């Protein structure tokens, strides 16, 4: 019982640390060339677009829900902290 409580506390602290430091709260690669993740507050689409390009190894990708789009001058949109996002290579 103590070990389980300790493990849950450690995971919570680690998750908060990762969210604050890396902008990504959760990250898991999804089948068929997609990456699913959520972000911490204050993370913008510029970071998300760069993250997807790096994770997928291409600049040819899209967000399944259209949260971020590329326009002249950069990647724009309004991501929400904690929401799951998916980007997929074309």
What are the average pLDDT values for consecutive 10-residue runs of the chain, which has 90 residues? Answer: 41 40 65 89 94 93 96 94 94
Q: What is the pLDDT of residue 14?
A: 39
pTM over 0.75: no
Q: Given the structure tokens 């998750």, which residue do they identify?
A: 15
DSSP state of 40: -
Name the H helices within 2-90. Answer: 2-22, 45-56
Q: What is the pLDDT of residue 52?
A: 94
Q: What is the pLDDT of residue 48?
A: 95
């Amino acid at each position: 019982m103590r070990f389980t409580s300790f493990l849950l506390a450690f995971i919570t602290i680690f998750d908060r640390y990762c969210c604050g430091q890396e902008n990504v709260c959760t990250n898991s690669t999804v089948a068929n060339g997609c990456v699913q993740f959520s972000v911490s507050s204050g993370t913008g689409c510029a970071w998300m677009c760069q993250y997807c390009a790096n994770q997928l190894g291409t600049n040819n990708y899209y967000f399944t829900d259209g949260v971020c789009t590329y326009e002249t001058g950069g990647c724009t949109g309004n991501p929400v902290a904690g929401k799951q996002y998916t980007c997929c290579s074309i």
